[in-house]
Amino acid sequence: MDRKHWAILAVGLMLALPAGLGAREAANAPAPVAQVKERIVTDRLEIRVYQGAKLVQLRIYTELYVVTPLSASRSEIENLVNKSVAIVRSQRKPGRWEVYQDVWIGAGRDLTLSDNVFKVKQVFTSSVHNPIELRLDEKVVRLEPGEALLVL
């Protein structure tokens, strides 16, 4: 094929594919499992996590996030341990960040970059009887019942 035919083929594919792919991607798009409430900035801070009155030992981590589950049960959030998650900006609400599970880099979403894909190391879910509290030097962050701390 000469250049002219390649150009015609490329333009034809660009015009034909976006509508079909967009509908398929929307139907197959994963639903978020949680919404990020707060990213815990850990630079130069001593961080202690308490579950109830008991000090919890954290594994070595990269990021800490306080999240609110979105129509996910407590067990679904706790089952994120050792799975990959992506923290991405919501397409519907740009000021909101969401957590997607079992996401691979470049798999279906242009927002899934290596910088926002993590492996979940620990999950601590707060409840009325077993609240989670983070002590960051002088600041104290108390999780509401139902919220979870993701250790990434």
Question: For 36-50, what is each residue's pLDDT tens digit?
Answer: 999 998 887 788 999
Q: 1 and 63: one domain?
A: no
pLDDT per position as a tens digit, 61-120: 889 999 999 876 677 888 999 999 999 988 888 889 999 987 765 555 445 556 788 999
Residue 140 CB burial class (10 angstroms; 0-12, 13-18, ≥19): exposed
**Which residues make Cβ contacts (< 8 Å) with residue 91, sequence separation at least 6?**
none
Is residue 45 a contact partner of residue 137, using CB atoms and an 8 Å limit? yes
Q: Quick check: pTM over 0.85?
A: no
Q: List for the chain the helix, strand, coil content (%; round to 5).
A: 20, 35, 45
- Does one domain contain both 65 and 132? yes
Overall number of domains in the chain = 2
Residues 60 and 88 in one domain: yes
Q: What's the alpha-carbon Rg for the chain, to the nearest Å?
A: 20
Residues 70 and 139 grouped into a single domain: yes
Backbone angles phi, psi at 53, to 5 degrees: -100, 5
Task: Judge if 57 and 67 occupy the same domain.
Answer: yes
Domain range enclosing 128: 31-151
